[in-house]
Amino acid sequence: MSANLIHLLIDATLQTLYMVAISGLIGALFGLPLGIYLAISQRGELLAAPLVNRVLGLVVNATRSVPFIILVVAIIPFTRMIAGTSIGTSAAVVPLTIAAIPFIARLVENAIREVDAGLIEAARAMGATPLQIITKVLVPEALPAISLGMTLALVSLIGYSAMVGAVGGEGLGDLGIRYGYQRFMPEVMLAVVIILIVLVQLVQSLGEWIARRVDRRAPRNRGH
């Protein structure tokens, strides 16, 4: 493989990391509070608002049900309005973020719902406010599951970032299509696949390590 192709692989990897990092960060900023609210706004929960919960749930489900490649094409006018263009790395961040928000929200909602109801009742009995219950009980107890959920979201975003290369995005997907497929260079396609596998494994391993570290129920090794 020539030095030029190696340089292209490095640039494409950095572009993929940029897309995943930015869309993951913005997705988490919106998805985390949305997921928490979806969990606590159901009937009988801390901040019960069944109608609002139902409307938000429908919006989240509708967004999640659209195949990503169709979502990318469908929101091209919105992408142009936000990024000033519909092609390139910055433009690809827009559909990636829109796909990430509802995905993260549902993962966080499920993590919050798994918290033992007895802990919530105990906090209520001690006079804790809803905000205190959320910040001191729900989120800390759900943190390991939230960490694993965020790991899953990032892994999915890596896959989506490769897919967006088919419609004008940059990164590893674009490089694999332009060189590996259109120019019949299987060594480039193989290199792209290997890099994607390595990225997924790194993210997965890091996410599992973080989940173990924040799990308050996990036994701690102590020196003797």
Residue 32: closest CA among 114, 113, 101, 93: 101
Residue 23: closest CA among 222, 168, 160: 160
DSSP string, 121-164: HHHHHTT--HHHHIIIIIHHHHHHHHHHHHHHHHHHHHHHHHHG
Write down the pLDDT at residue 37: 93
pLDDT tens-digit profile of 6-38? 888 999 999 999 999 999 999 999 999 999 999
Write down the pLDDT at residue 1: 59
Angle of helix 186-214 relative to helix 139-163, nearest 10 degrees?
170
Q: What distance in Å separates the CA atoms of residue 215 and residue 218, rounded to the nearest whole number?
A: 6
Task: Extract the residue ranges of the chain whose pLDDT is less than 70.
Answer: 1, 217-224
pLDDT tens-digit profile of 39-56? 999 887 878 888 999 999
Write down the pLDDT at residue 156: 94
Q: Is 47 exposed, middle or buried (0-12, 13-18, 19+ CB in 10 A)?
A: middle
Write down the pLDDT at residue 222: 42
Write down the pLDDT at residue 162: 86
Query: What's the gap between Cα 56 and its chain centre?
Result: 18
Write down the pLDDT at residue 217: 65
Write down the pLDDT at residue 218: 57
Contact present, 1 and 75 (Cβ < 8 Å) = no
